[in-house]
Every structure is written in C-alpha cells, then in structure tokens.
Amino acid sequence: MVKINSKAQVGETLTWIVATILVVVLLIFFIFGSSLLSGTKKVSDTFRESLTSGQVQEGNDVFLQKSLFAYASIGSVSTQLELDKILEKMTLSGNFTGDYNQTKKEVLLNYNLK
Amino acid sequence: MISKINKKGDKLISVYWFAILVIVAVGVVLMVNAFYGNPYDVRQIESETLADHVANCIYYGGQVNPSLLSADGVFRPDFRDNFMHMCFLNFSVEGEFTPVPYYIEVNFSSGINDFKNVFGISEGNINLRPDCYISAGNMQNLAKCTQKEFFMKSSSGKVYAVKILSVVSKVTENTNG
C-alpha cells in the first residue's frame, strides 16, 4: 500500500516539475519575442491596405504632384513630352511613390479646373 | 494521519501556486517593459516630412515662392540667407554644445536634362551628410536621410529641377543606443 502511494507521488511530482518547466520556457519565449518585436517599432508613411480607403486619392506623392503641375503648365509641347518621359522614368525607378497615370489624371483635372 | 499528510501537501501546493503566480507576473512585467520601453523610430518619416515642408515652401500650388525668384527669373540670395525664417523652420537645440540633429540641402538646376547647379541652399549640421552614403551593418545609429527631386516652373516659363536632401539624426531619442 505504502509502495503504491510513493509511486503515485513520484508520478505527480514529475507532472508538476514538467508543468513548471513548461511555464518558465513559455515565459522566456514570450519575453524574447516581445524584445524582438520592440526593435521593429518604426513609423513609416506606408499603411496597411485595409486601413486606407480606395476612395482616397491614389496619387499622394507631393513631389510627383508638383512635377506634374509644372508639366501641365508648360507651354511648349516638345518640352512637355520630354518631361513626361523623364517623370515616367523616375516613377519606374522608384523616385516617386504612387500611381503615375492616376496622379497625372488627377493633377490635369485640377489644373484644368483652375 | 492521512489528513495530516494532506494538510502538508495542500500547504505545499499553495506555496507552489503562489511562486508560479509571481513568476508569471514578473514575466508579464518584463514583456511589457521590453516592448513599451523601446522608443518608436520616427526619424525616417520626420526627414520625409521635413523634405515635404521645404518643397511646399519652395513651390506650392504651381507657384514658385516669390521670395526665391525675382520677376526676371534670377535666384535671390536673400532667400538663402533667411531660408529658415522664410520657410518657418527652427533647428535650435537646448544646450551650448549639443549638435544640431537636422540638415537640409536644396539644389536647383535649370532645364530638364541639365544637371548643372544654378543655386543652392544648405542649413543645419553638415556633419550628418556623410551618414546618407554609408551602408554599415548597424544602420540604427546613423542619421536617416530623404532624397527627393521634383520639377518646378517659374512665372517666366523656365523649368528647374529641385533636389532636396533632408537628414535627421536624433539617435538617442529614437533608439536604445
């Protein structure tokens, strides 16, 4: 009777020890994870697609808008064509963010309204 | 006899649970501290905002700042001299020997394909400029830069390419370093 009891006690103690180790290991894992995540706390101008509305203007690059405004107000057609090519190339190489054609449409519309 | 052993076991279990509770509480405190103790790094967006602000100061709504270009299309040196005041910028810092954590540089070149500078403005701590051209392992301790370019048309019909470089240092405020 006493022998059976001691076996059960050993079994139960082992369960407790394993559970304790599991709790400690999980805690260490989460502490490590949170310290790793804290290193990525950067604020940038790119937002999740789900957070931005599709109805908002797509062409929101200030620099592209300014360049396109200059493009729209140029009198010479040949200079306009040349600038258009350069701006398109600059957009493709990543100098501007946003959709080039969409921004161009919006700026030209605003310019004509002006 | 049995009830005595049970009482001892109950006491032991209570102490154990208390110890686990303390361990978990300490762990949660450590996790929150590790996550919220680190500052947000806003230097990149700050330098972008600075570049946006300067661009708007130079060319806004299809109009070049009248203080920058004279009626006959000549760049005015007094705009460069009073650039900070004209563009509502203030780089002053507290403390006599504290370096300025900002640098701004604007270069104008005439025409679309001409890369020759016709006018330039620079303000702030020029020592931060080399940080923009270093590609080191730990970039966290380097200043953040934004390099932007756009075209503007003056009232005289001339087109200028404007290049803006804005740099923000503020390493201690934005990192753990």
**Which tokens belong to B163?**
């290049």
Q: What would the mean pLDDT of B149-170 be, rounded to a whole number?
A: 92
What pLDDT shows up at residue B172?
Answer: 86
Nearest CA to B114 out of B73, B163, B42, B45 is that of: B163
Contact list in B for residue A90 (CB cut-off 8 A) is 149
* Candidate from B23, B41, B52 with C-beta closest to A41: B41
- The share of chain B scoring above pLDDT 90, in percent, equals 59
Domain boundaries, chain B: 1-37, 43-174
Over chain B, what is the mean pLDDT?
Answer: 89
B40 CB within 8 Å of a chain A CB: yes
Label residue B69 exposed, middle or buried (CB < 10 Å: 0-12, 13-18, 19+): buried
**What is residue B37's DSSP assignment?**
S
Domain boundaries, chain A: 1-38, 58-113
Nearest CA to A92 out of A64, A54, A58 is that of: A64
Nearest CA to B48 out of B9, B99, B101, B104 is that of: B104
Question: If pLDDT is split at 50, 70 and 90, which confidence band does B139 have?
Answer: confident
> Chain A residues contacting B, CB < 8 Å?
16, 20, 23-24, 27-28, 30-31, 34-35, 37-39, 41-45, 62-64, 66-67, 69-75, 79, 82-83, 86-87, 90, 95, 111, 114
Label residue A47 exposed, middle or buried (CB < 10 Å: 0-12, 13-18, 19+): exposed
What pLDDT shows up at residue A56?
Answer: 54
Instruction: Give residue-wise pLDDT tens across range A27-36.
Output: 999 999 998 8
Q: What would the mean pLDDT of B34-52 be, rounded to a whole number?
A: 90
ipTM over 0.85: no
Say if CB A45 and CB B45 are below 8 A apart: yes
Contact list in B for residue A75 (CB cut-off 8 A) is 157
Instruction: Give residue-wise pLDDT tens across range A45-104.
Output: 666 666 655 555 555 788 999 999 999 988 888 888 999 999 999 999 988 887 888 888
What pLDDT shows up at residue B163?
Answer: 95
* Of B78 and A38, the one with more pLDDT: B78
Q: Report CB contact under 8 Å: A38, B38.
A: yes
What pLDDT shows up at residue B144?
Answer: 93
Q: Bridge partners of B163? A: B107, B149
Rounded distance between C-alpha atoms, residue B150 and residue A68, angstroms? 9
Q: What would the mean pLDDT of B66-76 be, rounded to a whole number?
A: 89
Q: Report CB contact under 8 Å: A27, B23.
A: yes
Nearest CA to B159 out of B168, B173, B149, B169 is that of: B149
Rounded distance between C-alpha atoms, residue A29 and residue B31, angstroms? 10
